[in-house]
A and B are shown apart, each in its own frame.
Chain A
Amino acid sequence: MLELEGLEVFYGKAQILQGLSLSVGPGEVVALLGRNGAGKTTTLKATMQMLPVAGGQVRFRGEDITGSDPYRVARAGLGYVPEDRRIFTQLTVRENLETGRQAAREGVPRWDEAALFELFPNLAERAEARGKALSGGEQQMLSIARTLMGNPACLLLDEPSEGIAPVIVTEMARAILRLKREGLSVLLSEQALPFARAVADRVAVIDHGRVVFEGDFSALDAAPEIAKRHLAV
Chain B
Amino acid sequence: MGPILAQILTGLANAGALFMVASGLSLIFGVTRIVNFAHGSFYMLGAYIGWTLMQVLPGSFGFWSAILLAGIAVGAIGAFVEIVILRRVYAAPELFQLVATFGVILIVQDLALMIWGPQDLLGPRAPGLRGVVRILGEPVPKYDLALIAITPLVALALWALITRTRFGILVRAATQDREMVGALGVNQRWLFTGTFALGCALAGLGGALQLPKGGADLLMDFTILTSVFVVVVVGGMGSLPGAYLASVLISVVGVFGVTFLPQSTLALTFVVMVAVLMWRPFGLLGREEVAGEMGQVGPPEDPIRPAGWPVRVGVALALVVLAALPLYGSGFAVILATDILIFCLFAASLHFLLGQAGLVSFGHAAFYGGGAYAAALLVRHAGAPMELALLLAPLSAGLLALGIGFVALRASGVYFAMLTLAFAQLLWSLVWQGGAFTGGSDGLVGIWPARWADPNAIFYLLTFALCVGGILMLRHAAHAPFGYALRAARDNAPRAAASGLDVRRLQWAAFTFAGAMAGLAGGLFVFAKGSVFPNELEIARSFDALIVVFLGGVKTLSGGWVGGAVFEAGVDWLTRFEYWRLTLGLVVLFIVTIAPQGIVGTARAFWARVQR
Contact = CB atoms under 8 A, between A and B. Distances in A.
B184 A100 contact: yes
Contact of B176 (A71, A74, A89, A100): A89
Nearest to B299: A12
Interface stretch (B96-104, B135-143, B164-172, B251-259): B164-172
A102 interface: yes
Given A90-B172, A98-B166, A99-B169, A50 B184 contact: no
Nearest to A45: B183
A94 B2 CA distance: 49
Interface stretch (B185-193, B501-509, B577-585): B185-193
Interface stretch (A80-88, A119-127, A194-202, A216-224): A80-88
Contacts of B175: 90
Given A90-B172, A91-B172, A91-B173, A70 B183 contact: yes
A80 B169 contact: no
B181 interface: yes
> Which of the listed residues B166, B179, B186 has the most CB atoms from chain A within 10 Å of its own CB?
B186
A50 B185 contact: no
A102 B187 CA distance: 12
B182 interface: yes
Contact of A70 (B169, B177, B182): B182
Contacts of A98: 166, 169
A75 B188 CA distance: 13
A80 B184 CA distance: 7
B183 A80 contact: yes
A75 B183 contact: no
Interface residues on B, range: 10 to 19
Interface in A127-160: 146-147, 150
B555 to A, nearest CB: 18
Contact of A146 (B166, B172, B176, B184): B184
B185 A88 contact: no
Interface residues of A, number: 24
A88 B183 contact: no
A171 interface: no
Contact of B184 (A90, A91, A99): A99
A182 interface: no
A75 B184 CA distance: 8
Interface string A31-71: 00000000000000000101000000000000000000111
A147 to B, nearest CB: 7
Contacts of A75: 185
Contacts of A88: 172-173, 176-177, 180
B180 A82 contact: yes
Nearest to A88: B173
Contacts of A101: 166
A95 interface: yes
Interface string B451-468: 000000000000000000
B236 to A, nearest CB: 14
Given A70-B183, A80-B183, A99-B184, A86 B172 contact: no
Nearest to B190: A71
Contacts of A147: 184
Contacts of A90: 172, 175-176
Contact of A99 (B179, B181, B187, B188): B181
A146 B169 CA distance: 13
Contacts of A74: 182-185
A86 B180 contact: yes
A100 B183 CA distance: 9
Contacts of B182: 69-71, 74
B183 A99 contact: no
Contact of B183 (A71, A89, A91, A102): A71
A68 B170 CA distance: 21
Nearest to B165: A98
Contacts of B170: 99
Given A82-B180, A88-B177, A89-B176, A71 B169 contact: no
A33 to B, nearest CB: 23
Contacts of B176: 88-91
Given A95-B169, A99-B169, A50 B186 contact: no
Interface in B55-96: none
A227 B83 CA distance: 52
B581 to A, nearest CB: 37
A95 B165 CA distance: 10
Contacts of B183: 48, 50, 70-71, 74, 80, 82
B288 to A, nearest CB: 14
Interface in A166-210: none
> Which of the listed residues A70, A80, A90 has the most CB atoms from chain B within 10 Å of its own CB?
A70
A48 B182 CA distance: 10
Contacts of A91: 169, 172-173, 176
A25 to B, nearest CB: 23
A50 B179 CA distance: 8
A75 B185 CA distance: 5
A85 B170 CA distance: 17
B554 to A, nearest CB: 21
A101 B182 CA distance: 12
Contacts of B173: 88, 91, 95-96, 99
A50 B173 CA distance: 18
Contacts of B188: 71
A55 to B, nearest CB: 22
B299 to A, nearest CB: 9
B180 A71 contact: no
> Which of the listed residues B166, B170, B173, B181 has the most CB atoms from chain A within 10 Å of its own CB?
B173
Nearest to A49: B183
8 A-B pairs with the lowest CB-CB distances in the bound complex, closest first: A74-B185, A88-B173, A86-B180, A71-B182, A99-B173, A100-B184, A75-B185, A70-B182
19 contacts: A48-B183, A70-B179, A70-B182, A71-B185, A71-B186, A74-B182, A74-B183, A80-B183, A80-B184, A86-B177, A88-B173, A88-B176, A90-B176, A91-B169, A96-B173, A98-B169, A99-B170, A99-B173, A147-B184
Given A70-B179, A88-B180, A102-B185, 18 more contacts: A69-B182, A71-B183, A74-B182, A74-B183, A74-B184, A74-B185, A75-B185, A86-B180, A88-B172, A88-B176, A91-B173, A98-B166, A99-B181, A99-B186, A100-B184, A101-B166, A147-B184, A150-B184
